[in-house]
Amino acid sequence: QLQLVESGGGLVRPGGSLRLSCAASGFTLDYYAIGWFRQAPGKEREGVSCISSSGGRTNYADSVKGRFTISRDNAKNTVYLQMNSLKPEDTAVYYCAADLFAGGLEPQGYDYWGQGTQVTVSS
C-alpha cells in the first residue's frame, strides 16, 4: 500500500536541532513534489516547506526561513527537513505529504500524507 512515514521527532531545547525524515513505501517519490506541514493543538495545519520533484525549487514559510532546510534523496526515496535554531513555537506534529503536481505550502491538492511525528521544543 502507498504510505509515507515520518520519523526523527522528539524533545529538544530551544536553539537545538532536529532532522525529520519522510520515507515512502509502495511508490517512488521521484515524480512528486513534497511538502512539510505542521499542526499545533488548537491551531490550523500550516505549510512549513516544500520541494519540487527535482529538488530545484524550494519554498519556506516566513516563520522558518533561515532556520529550516528541506532536501530530498530520491535514491533513498526519502525527503528531509533539517530544523535548526528551534523555538518553542515550532512545537507541533509535523507531517509530510506528496503531490504529483507543483506542490506548495497549501495542503489542498496533496495526494498522500504521513501519520506525523511530534516535535516538542521546551526548556
* Average pLDDT, consecutive stretches of 10 residues, N- to C-terminus, the chain (123 residues): 93 98 92 96 96 93 98 94 98 96 88 96 96
Kindly tell me the burial class for residue 6, based on how many C-beta atoms sit within 10 Å of its own C-beta (0-12, 13-18, 19 or more).
Answer: buried
pLDDT reported for residue 65: 98
Neighbours of 82 (CB within 10 A): 15
Q: Give the C-alpha separation, 109 to 115, whole Å.
A: 17
pLDDT reported for residue 103: 82
Contact in structure between 22 and 6 (CB atoms under 8 Å): yes
| Of residues 20, 2, 34, the one with CA closest to residue 92 | 20
pLDDT reported for residue 85: 98
pLDDT reported for residue 27: 86
Tallying the residues shown for the chain, one arrives at 123
Contact in structure between 83 and 18 (CB atoms under 8 Å): yes
Q: What Rg value do the Cα atoms of the chain yield, rounded?
A: 13
